[in-house]
Structure 1
Amino acid sequence: MALGSCYTCIKYLMFAFNFIFWLLGCAILGVGIWLRVDEGAAEFMHESSKIDMFYTLAYVLMAIGFLIMLIGFLGCCGAIRESQCMLALFFMFLFVIFATLLGFGIWAAVAKSSFKDMTADMLKDGVENYYKDEKSQTFMDSIQTYFGCCGATLGNEDYKVVEDIPGTCDPDNYRKPCQSQFYEWIESKLVIVAGVAIGIAVVMILGMIFSMVLCCAIRDTVA
């Protein structure tokens, strides 16, 4: 079917947008893979069940990235084939992902205090159960080795109420508690993830506008 010159322009803009959208899906997929296989993070993440949430986050991002790539492909086909059904499906999927990513991005940006408390609780629990639980010991050993720190908030003083100071606490790092460094590491990951999520959510608005305009143009042409 033939569309007017203005709508034909929108049609090809829609195709171009969805190609960019597909690339952004690749970016989300890449961030998820990066969180999962980052060599520095893996040094202490892969052995500790206490931070499985980061693995979960990585898998969620990979799934979302892959889904966005598929939806971008759907939008490209809908624009080229001038299919109202495919464009409507594209719009609905886009809206759902838009709401999800925007909400997650805002949550990640404002939840800093919650994550700070969480890291403090994780490290405190790790110290208290260091000589009781193998996973806690592995977690604290990995943290202390990777960040060059000792204990949770008081350095080597944290272990004096438990038992001996672990061998992974280097004497040069006795006065360097792990909480601030661990939290800064988590915060740096969240900033990247939140920025990508919010940026892509904003770009999605253009995709929804293009798809609705093109869908209406195709409907008017058929009518």
Structure 2
Amino acid sequence: MSWLLGCAILGVGIWLRVDPNMAKYVNQAEEINVFYTLAYVLMAIGVVIMVIGFLGCCGAIRESQCMLGAFFIMLFIIFTILLGFGIYAVVEKDTMKDAVGNMLDRAVRDYDSDSDSRKFMDNIQEEFGCCGSRNGAQDYKETVHVPDSCQPENRDEACDKRFFAWIAEHLTIVAGIAIAIAIVLILGMIFSMVLCCALRDGAVA
């Protein structure tokens, strides 16, 4: 079971890292590169859990208390790391709203002078049906013209709330996966301790 869990975690980490929709925004925005941090952490945890799962299987087959004890300790360490990054994700979600607004403000300001900012805003405005940063098309009042990516029917819809909602949705998915993983890890720790105690009692008897 642990080996399959490790494969699942590795798959989620790879999805976060290579998802083309994610790359369109994260590659051009340092403020939201938390996604790539989480992706690398999940990939590392997935590989480690696959190795740990093999250790647990060997311990159960060979009825080795030492291996089962090591299996428990490693699962506990992984659980602690996941808990820490779960808290980190929640904190980032709460503090990222202003960062998103500031990031969009900067991209709007540099829209005419910087190709990366222009591509970034065009992607967001076309994808989310919005315009500008916090005030819709009014944010472009100091530029030559409102971009074509701002559709007339969307020019009153600011992008900050819609883009942040997209970020929050993905962080929620990651948090849900982390909770599911934590539950499985707890079950694995309980199973290893029960088996280890049973082996000890059998040895004493």
TM-score scaled to structure 1, two decimals? 0.79
Mind listing any 5+ residue stretches in structure 2 that lack a counterpart?
Answer: none
* 1:45 pairs with 2:21: no
- Counterpart CA distance in 2 for 1:73 and 1:36 is 26
The 5 Å alignment of 1:183-194 reads 183-194=164-175
**In structure 1, what is the equivalent of residue 105 of structure 2?**
124
**In structure 2, what is the equivalent of residue 99 of structure 1?**
80
TM-score scaled to structure 2, two decimals? 0.85
The 5 Å alignment of 1:44-83 reads 44-45=24-25, 48-50=28-30, 51-83=32-64
CA contact (8 A) 1:47 1:138 kept: no
- Counterpart CA distance in 1 for 2:203 and 2:102 is 62
CA contact (8 A) 2:10 2:42 kept: yes
Superposed CA RMSD in Å reads 2.3
* Matching residue within 161, 177, 185 for 2:158: 177
Q: Aligned-pair distance for 1:203?
A: 2.5
> In structure 2, do the counterparts of structure 1 residues 85 and 162 end up closer, same or farther at CA, with 3 Å as the change threshold?
farther
CA contact (8 A) 1:49 1:135 kept: no
* Matching residue within 103, 118, 123 for 1:142: 123
Specify the code of the residue in structure 2 equivalent to 1:175: D
* 1:166 pairs with 2:147: yes
CA contact (8 A) 1:36 1:55 kept: yes
* 1:25 pairs with 2:15: no
Q: Aligned-pair distance for 1:41?
A: 3.1
CA contact (8 A) 1:147 1:181 kept: yes
Q: Which has the higher contact order (CA 8 A, sep 6+)?
A: 1
Q: Aligned-pair distance for 1:117?
A: 1.8
Mind listing any 5+ residue stretches in structure 1 that lack a counterpart?
Answer: 1-18
DSSP 3-state at the match of 2:136: coil
State percent identity of aligned pairs.
Answer: 59
CA contact (8 A) 1:25 1:66 kept: yes
Task: Say which is worse superposed, 52-61 or 169-178, in terms of deviation.
Answer: 52-61
Specify the code of the residue in structure 1 equivalent to 2:60: A
Specify the code of the residue in structure 2 equivalent to 1:170: Q
